[in-house]
Amino acid sequence: MVLIGGDSNSHIGTERNGFERIHGGHGYGALNVNGEHTLQFAQAYDLAIANSFFQKRESHLITYQSGGHRFQIDFMLVSRRHLRNVTDCKVIPGQTIAAQHQLLILTFRFQNKSCKEKRHHVSKIKWNKLANHSDTFAISCNLGDFTKDDYPTANEMWEDVMGRLKGEARQILGETKGGRSKPVITWWWNEEIEKAVEIKNRLFKVWKSSKLDGDRLAYKKQSKAVRGIIRIAKQKVFDGLYDNRHTKSGQNMIYKMARQRERKARDIEFGGRYVKDKSGRLLTTDDRVLKRWKEYFSELLNNDSPNIILNQPPISCNLVQPIDRSEIIRGLKQMKKSKAGGPDDIPIECWKGLGEEGIDVLQTI
């Protein structure tokens, strides 16, 4: 943004002939030679004379008084594209900042544009559908093609195995859109909603692949229908809850909803609602809990602990036996399901579903 203000010793007048973009038509006096030079300068650099864009009384236009003479020779020039941010420009009568010059004020409105950080949505494989497609997934992967002789190192073989598993999983199980996951409230979810949502997801994939307006309208129509079905389902649940509020099942549902609302409104700033101080006394207020956490981390991070020197274990000169097949089977059985995948993003359910071929590949690697 360019903003120029000062005494130009020129008269721009009230006419806008040829200078409509930079002259507002609300000047004072008659145009002179220096005024033409000022207008030409402003036009060359696309600067608007802010004084001329606001209709004012004469006392708010005159910037110079000497005896019985009154002129407008002080101007404020602003970039034409920023003129819309200027809310006012006028003279304050009687307030002089120099000999015979009146105080000229320009009011500018700054727009505070907050820069929102763009979230990078990462799509994830729907491993939760593996239980219903385990046989198809195992046949499609065909891990029997991998042999140790085709790879110089185990890392290269692992990269190819991981690439095939993920590729087949994306084709069979599908991927998420990559947005923030929203928990499904199961107390109003039913089979009708599930079928409608599946149709909506299928239409979404068709629209993304074809990019046609007809497919887009079909997806939007189904989305609207899903919202209506959900609204009706919620109303039915609330009506049933109201009718059964005195029964045991109704009271359990009310308790479940209250607990869910309490968890949703819980302040995640604190690791726990209540903590104990150094003497073991329970702290219940937020201020004291926050102060206790501050003291704890201050002591933990600023305490000079003695350096502990660990003795290195002796180097084993004996040969390490290769991992036996029974050890792999025992390890797979001991690993629990529904756990987060590691850096490769392949859960334990995948290896358990691959059967003997998966065990052979793990033993080869």
For residue range 151-187, list pLDDT tens digits in order.
788 888 888 888 888 888 888 888 887 766 655 556 6
Tens-place pLDDT, residues 49-63: 998 998 888 888 888
Same domain membership, residue 57 and residue 134:
no
Does 343 lie in the same domain as 279? no
Which amino acid is residue 167, in one-letter code?
G
Q: Indicate whether 239 belongs to any domain.
A: no
Q: Is residue 256 a part of any domain in this protein?
A: no
**Of 108, 137, 169, which residue constitutes the final position of a domain?**
108
Whether 349 maps to a domain, the answer reads: yes
Which residue range(s) make up the domain with 56? 3-108
Type of residue found at 207: W
- How far is CA 329 from its chain centroid? 43
Tens-digit pLDDT profile for residues 188-237: 788 899 899 999 999 999 998 898 989 999 999 999 999 999 999 888 88
Q: Of 108, 132, 150, which one is at a domain's C-terminal end?
A: 108
My answer on whether 163 and 89 are in the same domain is no
In contact, 127 and 94? CB cutoff 8 Å: no
Is 56 in the same domain as 103? Answer: yes
Within-domain flag for 29: yes
Mean pLDDT of the chain: 82
**In a shared domain, residues 14 and 65:** yes
pLDDT surpassing 80 at residue 288: yes
Q: Are residues 296 and 325 in the same domain?
A: no
Q: Domain check: are 58 and 153 in the same one?
A: no
What is the mean pLDDT of the segment spanning 136-144? 81
Within-domain flag for 190 = no
Count how many domains the chain has. Answer: 3
Residues 329 and 288 in one domain: no
Task: Choose one of 84, 108, 132: the last residue of a domain.
Answer: 108
pLDDT at 179: 66
Residue 308 lies in a domain: no
8 in a domain, yes or no? yes
The residue type of 340 is A
Dmax over CA atoms of the chain, in Å, equals 111
Question: Do residues 44 and 13 share a domain?
Answer: yes
Q: Are residues 337 and 363 in the same domain?
A: yes
DSSP H helices in the chain? 33-44, 134-141, 154-172, 191-210, 213-243, 248-264, 286-302, 325-334, 348-354, 356-364
What average pLDDT does the segment 246-251 reach? 80
- Kindly state whether residues 57 and 148 are assigned to the same domain: no
CATH of the domain at 44: 3.60.10.10
pTM for this predicted structure? 0.39
Whether 241 is covered by a domain: the verdict is: no
Residues 92, 29: one domain? yes
